[in-house]
Amino acid sequence: MNYKTLLKIINDRTAKIGVIGLGYVGLPLAITFANKGFAVTGFDVDPKKIVQLMEGRSYIKHIENDIIQQHISSKTLTVSHDFSLLSGMSAIIVCVPTPLNHVREPDLSYLEATARSITSCLKEGQLVVLESTTYPGCCEEVVKPVLEESGLISAKDFYLAYSPEREDPGNHEFSTKDIPKVVGGDGSKALEVAIALYDQIVVETVPVSSMDVAEAVKLTENIFRAVNIALINELKVIYGKMGVDIWEVIEAAKTKPFGYMPFYPGPGLGGHCIPVDPFYLTWKAKQAGETTRFIELAGEINTAMPEKVVETLSTSLKDQFNTSLDGSIILLIGLAYKKNVDDTRESPALVLIDLLEDRGSKVDYFDPYVPIIPVTRKHSHLAGRESIKWVLANFAKYDAALICTDHDGLDYSGLVDHSRLVVDTRNVISKIPLVSKKVQKA
């Protein structure tokens, strides 16, 4: 199949789409293609995900069961862990994890294993697109050579492109179809077919001159956020020592219609992107003989925030009750890394549990989106713990409640009324009238 044939079947939506990795990026992407009439096959190595989807059950909170059921029953979406089916796909999109290892270097094991699975099935005329976050040069230096072990040559026999994911779980204003897609290809034909593919499902495609540029775009977006969040976290600590409320400062500063963009402090960084992606560039920069001082400093500041929160909590207990963390019972409110989602990847709440228990506290948690702590890479020892029920009368038994994630819809006023002490890292209860010193911002 030549690229003109591939373009034709993409444009008339008879192309078969394979999506590898059915997590927070891959599953919404697969559904978006299915919504546009494509026949989509989703692949994942986790058999539990495949079984759940085949039964019409979603494991991602913001994706409703009926959407899954609709596509499974109509066969616009099929799911499998049989990667040999990749040979029948017109386009293969890779959405697998690209985490860091224990020394903050890129862990490409999932990506390399996936590339080898594709290689064994790669056919002439197929399009392969990587959406997982990587460093500039990864597609060219890692993915392309593995795929060419098939004997097929990129830009001649098959087409390789990079289009960084921009998924924001739980964001109802910007779903997959509403977010422009940056696309870089290995040659002009690869770029053309990749643009044609994404033109079918998103509001706008943004072509760039190479896969390296597209890879750099993704890192730049998340480095921008990481550095600015670190700045505001540092200002929170400094202003706090001066008796200045950082939240009031931000609200006033953001009234300026130019030259300022609001970022907000918190108990630490969470999610797969912002705590991880900047260090892909740090590692690559070292290969080029350069250092990334801003990125590394931002990482140090953001990583230190959970300790700052614990110290605030410790000081508050000492000041108000003359007690210490050792022996205290703490209720942590919110386990997900951000509000209104069930995503616990890199959540600072998990770090806070460990820090508090290391200091001798007993910790319970409440999160309506995370009834049971799942297995995570760094905190597997916490897996299986269950959320308490939201019963206001029971809150009095805790020495303090620590708000880590500001989910909507919770009775924060009731939490304050029934708790001995509340430490708020998200400024969620700032508008509740307070008649005591029960609330401490952190």
Do residues 360 and 338 make contact, with C-beta atoms less than 8 angstroms apart? no
Do residues 140 and 186 make contact, with C-beta atoms less than 8 angstroms apart? yes
CB-count exposure of residue 35 (10 Å: 0-12, 13-18, 19+) = middle
Per-position b or e across 99-137, b if 16+ CB within 10 A of its CB: bbeeeeebbbebbeebbebbbebbeebbbbbbbbbbbbb
**Which strands sit side by side in the sheet containing 127-130, from one edge to the other?**
77-80, 39-43, 16-20, 91-94, 127-130, 159-162, 181-185, 205-207
Nearest to 301, CA basis, from 229, 365, 205, 349: 229
95, 139, 273, 404: the active-site residue:
273
- Residue 431: phi, psi to the nearest 5? -95, 0
Tokens of 415: 């939490």
Q: How far apart are CA 15 and CA 4, in angstroms?
A: 13
How many other CB atoms are found less than 10 A from the CB of residue 42? 28
Tokens of 93: 């999109």
Helix (H) or strand (E) holding 193: helix 188-199
Tokens of 379: 């905190």
Please confirm, yes or no, whether 95 is among the known catalytic residues: no
Which residues form the catalytic set? Answer: 273
